[in-house]
Amino acid sequence: MSNFVVSARKYRPLRFEDVVGQQHVALTLKNALATDHVAHAFLFCGPRGVGKTTCARILAKVLNCENRSADFEACNSCSSCKSFTENASFNIIELDAASNNSVEHIRPSSNRCASSPSKDNTRSSSLMRCTCCPTRLLMLF
């Protein structure tokens, strides 16, 4: 049972071209990468299950990929992509504000955001379900 993976993660797309139903988001993000006008923050919003986290994860992976393809997809073979796929990357921070809603939970993540990225080009932070997060906690970021 130790190798169990939730089906949402097991079958989650790994490339922008595999995203279903959010092609306009994938195209917008690829255009930002192509023109080198990537914003410092993105707000993905919508109902549950439409691909918000998937698009954010793919963007984070592409930003840190060492060998991006010509169509701005991650190579999935470099050390950065492999560590991302294995959930072992120190430069990708995912925080679920619904379950981590106290200062004690948020402070270590906000401290990690302040430091420079280790080995990769960028550090990506995803704060999910931030509407569950009290305003005073958002001030830490």
pLDDT digits (tens, 9 = 90+) for 1-33: 567 877 777 788 889 999 988 899 999 999 999
Q: 35-44, 46-55, 67-76, 84-93: which has the highest mean pLDDT?
A: 67-76
Residue 137: Cβ-neighbour burial (10 angstroms; 0-12, 13-18, 19+):
buried
Pick the residue with more confidence: 45 or 132? Answer: 45
Note the pLDDT tens digit of each residue in 76-92.
898 888 888 887 776 67
**CA–CA dist 46, 5 (Å, integer):** 24
This prediction's pTM: 0.74
Asked if 65 contacts 75 with a C-beta cutoff of 8 angstroms, the reply is yes
Cα-based torsion angle of the residue sequence 74, 75, 80, 83 in order, rounded to the nearest 10 degrees:
100
Asked if 141 contacts 110 with a C-beta cutoff of 8 angstroms, the reply is yes
Domains of the chain: 1-89 (3.40.50.300), 91-141 (no CATH)
